[in-house]
DNA sequence: CCTTGTGAAGTGGTTCACAGCT
DNA sequence: AGCTGTGAACCACTTCACAAGG
């Protein structure tokens, strides 16, 4: 076991976690072979990924499902409850706010923000929508560490700047534009059009 | 120029395209240095990625913005209009259906499906929601090639099977579960919780 | 003189193949 | 006997560094 996981392993750990959830109720052991088939990867890769977490398998048997789930969540920091804020409460923002697996997955929404005064006060997921001007104080008061951007593209950079200044340490950007953030603020791009365009490439190739 | 682009280059081409859109109106040339700064990468990587498309830059000058945009779109197959269907018209499905950059980005929605009879007939983006039972015929009639899954996790595999049987060649899955598809059907996972969990890892590390 | 395009070197991820345990 | 854990070989991507060319 090394104490540093490759970035790409970090990206696969959430997939293993989802596969564990999909196992038949009552299944107590799982082999690298079975997990690999479920995620669509090679068994050696699964074993190598999991070995970075420590030696939690049993030779000749496999991995204990609950034990493994615990250690993956541990490695990802999902045994905390990270406070997050969501900016832009259109259809996408509402979908995110209603996402009820937050609680089981290490996050909880502590603020919903929009710049439309019409929307302020509406409630989702037990939270009232607040005006974007309230964001800096809210992030500080509620110790939010992740900001989710679900605004139109033209507002995204401005919102990212505001989030960064307010003190979040990570940004998940759903707007179809590339945003910059100061060093120390980790950004992930999570947008629909990028994924679609990648699929288009493979369609195009075939034809 | 080779005729095979590395998979990871394919994933970055959409980002370059977005950066070209963000350039000040009227800017006619762009250097690898400037593009790199915008996407947050090394200039050599940008040049190498673009060199796979052919030698479309001018030494000492840079790349012609329009020319480059054309060739990236060409490579990604975005000079077609790929017909897509969206399954699961909750908040997320509506966000996708309303996504108005489709037309400029090589796609158009040709069907919206849900299993809730209450929703059937509602209109979004100029399309009426149809019942999921209509999906196979619709995919065939309208030549849809991409299926987007925006259902809850427990329905996702079933919808994926239905899409694959109906003849789509690519699936974009937003449900927080790992789905399988037969060989020949390309799947991309695009889910919120995976991205959040990756961010959680980096937060956890710092603290 | 400036910036592209690209071999070559460097880095990191994947797969193989088998020793090590149960 | 079976499955994990892991060095070693392999392969892919990134970065360097510079020749080529406007």
Give the tens place of pLDDT for each residue, B27-68: 999 999 999 999 999 999 999 999 999 989 999 999 999 999
Give the tens place of pLDDT for each residue, B125-183: 889 999 999 999 999 999 999 999 999 999 999 999 999 999 999 999 999 999 999 99
- pLDDT category at B3 given cuts 50, 70, 90 is low
In this complex, the residue of A95, A177, A197 whose CB is nearest that of residue B95 is A95
Give the tens place of pLDDT for each residue, B105-116: 899 999 999 999
Q: How far is CA A51 from CA A32, A45, A63, B202, in A?
A: 11, 10, 11, 19
Query: Would the CB atoms of A177 and B21 count as touching at under 8 Å?
Result: yes
Dihedral through CA A50, CA A53, CA A56, CA A62, nearest 10?
-10
Query: Would the CB atoms of A92 and B91 count as touching at under 8 Å?
Result: yes
Query: Would the CB atoms of A94 and B96 count as touching at under 8 Å?
Result: no
**CB-CB neighbors (< 8 A) of B152 in chain A:** none
- Spatial distance between the Cα atoms of A203 and B75, rounded to a whole number of angstroms: 11
Distance (Å) from the C-alpha of residue B14 to the closest C-alpha of chain A?
5
- Spatial distance between the Cα atoms of B181 and B167, rounded to a whole number of angstroms: 12
Interface test with A, best of B124, B200, B205, B207 (most A CBs within 10 A): B200
Give the model's pLDDT for residue B2. 46
Query: Would the CB atoms of A14 and B198 count as touching at under 8 Å?
Result: yes
Does A1 have pLDDT greater than 70? no
Nucleotide nearest to A45 (CA to C1'): C14
User: In strand C, which positions have an atom below 7 A from any protein CB?
Assistant: 1-7, 12-17, 20-22
Q: How far is CA B49 from CA B10, B55, B60, B76, B77, in A?
A: 9, 11, 18, 13, 16
- Spatial distance between the Cα atoms of A142 and A149, rounded to a whole number of angstroms: 18
The enclosing H or E element of A134 equals none
Give the mean pLDDT of chain A: 94
Protein residues closer than 7 Å by CB to strand D: A 1, 31-33, 43-44, 47-48, 50-51, 55-63; B 6-9, 41-42, 44-45, 47-48, 58-61
**DSSP assignment letter at B124:** E
Other CB atoms within 10 Å distance of the CB of residue B118: 8
Residue of B nearest to A191 (CA): B190
**CB-CB neighbors (< 8 A) of B94 in chain A:** 91
Q: Is A112 helix (H, G, I), strand (E, B) or coil?
A: strand
- Whether the Cβ atoms of residue A170 and residue A186 lie closer than 8 Å to each other: yes
- Whether the Cβ atoms of residue A199 and residue B170 lie closer than 8 Å to each other: yes
- Spatial distance between the Cα atoms of B71 and B48, rounded to a whole number of angstroms: 15
Give the model's pLDDT for residue B103. 63
Chain A contacts in chain B segment 43-72 (CB below 8 A): none
**Does A105 contact chain B (CB < 8 Å)?**
yes
- Whether the Cβ atoms of residue A178 and residue B18 lie closer than 8 Å to each other: yes
């Amino acid at each position: 076991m090394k104490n540093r996981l490759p970035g790409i392993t970090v990206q696969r750990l959430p997939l293993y976690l989802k596969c564990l959830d999909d196992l038949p109720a009552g299944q107590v052991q799982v082999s690298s072979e079975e997990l690999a088939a479920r995620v669509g990867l090679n068994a050696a890769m699964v074993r190598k990924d999991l070995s970075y977490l420590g030696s939690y398998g049993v030779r000749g048997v496999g991995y204990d499902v609950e034990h493994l789930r615990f250690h993956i969540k541990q490695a990802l920091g999902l045994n905390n409850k990270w406070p997050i804020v969501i900016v832009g409460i259109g259809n996408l923002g509402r979908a995110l706010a209603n996402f009820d697996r937050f609680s089981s997955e290490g996050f909880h929404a502590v603020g919903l923000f929009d710049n439309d005064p019409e929307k302020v006060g509406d409630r989702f997921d037990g939270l009232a929508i607040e005006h974007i001007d309230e964001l800096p104080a809210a992030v500080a008061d509620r110790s939010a560490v992740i900001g989710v951007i679900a605004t139109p593209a033209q507002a995204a950079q401005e919102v990212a700047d505001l989030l960064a200044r307010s003190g979040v340490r990570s940004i998940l950007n759903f707007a179809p534009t590339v945003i910059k953030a100061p060093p120390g603020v980790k950004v992930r791009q999570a947008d629909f059009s990028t994924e679609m365009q990648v699929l288009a490439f493979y369609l195009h190739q075939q034809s």
